Amino acid sequence: MPGNMKRCGMWSLSEVDRRGCRRPSTPGGRKCSVLVLGRLQKSSAARAHIENYCCIDGREGMGLLKQARTKAEGSGAVFIEEDVVALSAINGAFTAELEGGKSVATKTLILAMGISRNKLEFPGEKEFLGKGVSNCVDCDAGFYKGQDVAMVGCESGAVTGALTLLFYAKAVHLICGKLEVSGPLGERIRETAIQIHEGAVIKEIVGQSAVDEVILEAAFYARRQS
Ligand SMILES: Cc1cc2nc3c(=O)[nH]c(=O)nc-3n(C[C@H](O)[C@H](O)[C@H](O)COP(=O)(O)OP(=O)(O)OC[C@H]3O[C@@H](n4cnc5c(N)ncnc54)[C@H](O)[C@@H]3O)c2cc1C
């Protein structure tokens, strides 16, 4: 294994093939030790207002991403704003095919494509994301101190989230078609002040600049049973 392979995470596939990994480089031919692929604007932070992050005052996510990129570039990282369209393992190295047609080979590959949350697809969900609609209790519960909060979900994640919210919110509502937790967790939630709206789904979220109201309707299965 060439000594420089330990220092350089990425180099072009053509260089690997021709020279046995001796000349690490990006597809454009530049040497680099860290190559970052993907697009800033596709980060989940790109359109978010980041309020709750170590050592910064609240600011727009895109600004934070650009600052992070500048810092990383200052430390030698190279960015290529292209998606990986295929991955394979050849001769002990990974090969990533980029959307532009070039390929990159690397001994070390870190996958950090983010996550996408389940969408419930009711009106207002997308519009009010970050303005009263949250996807993460542990991240955002502190924003709802002293407020009325509705948690959506029927299983253990929603129930434990609703129990956490009790420490912050004035009132906690759990909206779920049919509560699907058993044992101590199921008993515990029924002993708390959480208002459980079984057989309900969210019809719409309404508000001006942030969420004002959550409008419920009966879940389909509940109507069918009645
Ligand atoms: C409204 C909102 C508010 C938030 N507020 C906060 C907050 O206050 N504090 C906080 O800490 N967090 C907050 N977050 C969460 C934060 O944005 C995420 O936790 C963070 O961005 C996750 O980083 P990541 O690197 O895992 O993924 P992401 O930032 O989502 O990045 C994923 C990257 O993967 C790339 N990618 C995907 N597929 C490919 C592919 N095939 N090839 C190449 N690249 C690919 C994309 O281009 C993208 O750049 C908030 C999120 C939202 C939506």
Task: For the chain, give every domain's residue range.
Answer: 4-106, 137-225
CB 205 within 8 Å of CB 128? yes
**Phi and psi (nearest 5°) for 156?**
-60, -35
CA of 114 to the centre of ligand 1 (A): 5
Evaluate: CB of 52 within 6 angstroms of ligand 1. yes
Distance of alpha carbon 40 from alpha carbon 72, whole angstroms: 13
The closest of 20, 43, 23 to 32, measured between CA atoms, is: 23
Dihedral over Cα of 114, 155, 130, 216: its sign: positive
CA of 100 to the centre of ligand 1 (A): 23
Q: Tell me, which fold does domain 4-106 have in CATH? A: FAD/NAD(P)-binding domain (3.50.50)
For the CA of 114, the closest atom of ligand 1 is 27
Digit-by-digit pLDDT tens for the chain (226 residues) are 333 333 333 344 334 434 333 343 456 665 668 899 999 999 989 988 888 889 988 899 999 999 999 999 999 899 999 999 999 997 788 988 889 888 888 888 999 998 888 889 999 999 999 899 999 998 899 999 999 999 999 999 999 999 999 999 999 999 998 999 988 999 999 999 999 999 999 999 999 999 999 999 987 554 444 3
CA of 110 to the centre of ligand 1 (A): 15
Evaluate: CB of 130 within 6 angstroms of ligand 1. yes
For the CA of 113, the closest atom of ligand 1 is 34
Distance of alpha carbon 78 from alpha carbon 75, whole angstroms: 9
Collapse the DSSP code of 62 into the 3-class scheme (helix H, G, I; strand E, B; otherwise coil) and give the result. Answer: helix
Given this model, what pLDDT does residue 117 score? 83
Question: What is the DSSP code (8-state) at residue 140?
Answer: H
**Ligand 1 pocket: which of 39, 40, 44 to mutate (most atoms within 8 A of CB):** 44
Selected from 3.50.50.60, 3.60.40.10, 1.10.357.10, 3.30.750.200, the CATH number assigned to the domain covering 137-225 reads 3.50.50.60
Evaluate: CB of 114 within 6 angstroms of ligand 1. yes
Given this model, what pLDDT does residue 18 score? 41
